[in-house]
Amino acid sequence: MKISVQINASPYQHQTADTAWHFIQAALVSGHEVYRVFFYHDGIYNALRDSRPPGDERDIVKRWSELYRQSNIDLVVCVSSAQRRGLLEQSVAKKVGGYDKALADGFRIAGLGLLMEAVIDSDRHVTFGD
């Protein structure tokens, strides 16, 4: 089955990103396709490259990047949620003189249309939040 996931909350503040990650791992092991993970609202903070948790803690951002590397799952950060919260896509950042290296590996910034496309094309959509 084709499943899409939406993440609405920031990492560490709440269990959201952990639950979603475990859910995705289980879905992949069970042979399902995880079509896209869409980061919305404060969920965009999952994509901050410079997150540096203490060494004895899980690294949530790195875990997403590894998920992309291993499974090639489309990790999409909503552009309007991101801009509002100070996370800029590289070309936009260059244009406005903002920080252009904020986005972690494996993520891309795109419009809300990609969420809708995922919802329409998937058999199931599961939202995780706080």
Partner 1 sequence: MLFIINKNSAVIGGCIAKASADDVVLLIEDAVFAVIECGESPVMRRSDNNTAAIYALSPDMQARGVREAACHKHIKFVDYTGFVELVVNHNPVRSIF
Partner 2 sequence: MKTLVFVIDKPLHGNVRAQEFLDMAMMAAAFDQRVLIVFEGDGAYALMKNQHADVIGLKNMIPVLNALAIYDINDVLIERESMKSRAISEDQLLIPADILSRCDIKSRMNAAGHVFSF
Main-chain phi, psi angles of 67, to 5 degrees: -60, -40
In the list partner 1, partner 2, none, the entry touching 81 (Cβ below 5 to 8 angstroms by class) is partner 2
Catalytic residue among 78, 87, 115, 118: 78
- Cβ atoms of 43 and 123 within 8 Å: the answer is no
- The residue (of 23 and 68) whose beta carbon lies closer to partner 2 is 23
In the list partner 2, partner 1, none, the entry touching 96 (Cβ below 5 to 8 angstroms by class) is none
What part of residues 24-53 is at the interface with partner 1 (CB under 8 A)? Answer: 25-27, 29-30, 32
Q: In what order do the strands lie in the sheet with 124-128?
A: 107-110, 74-78, 33-39, 2-7, 124-128
Secondary element (H or E) of residue 107: strand 107-110
Interface with partner 1 (CB under 8 A): 1, 3, 8, 15, 19, 22-23, 25-27, 29-30, 32, 123-130
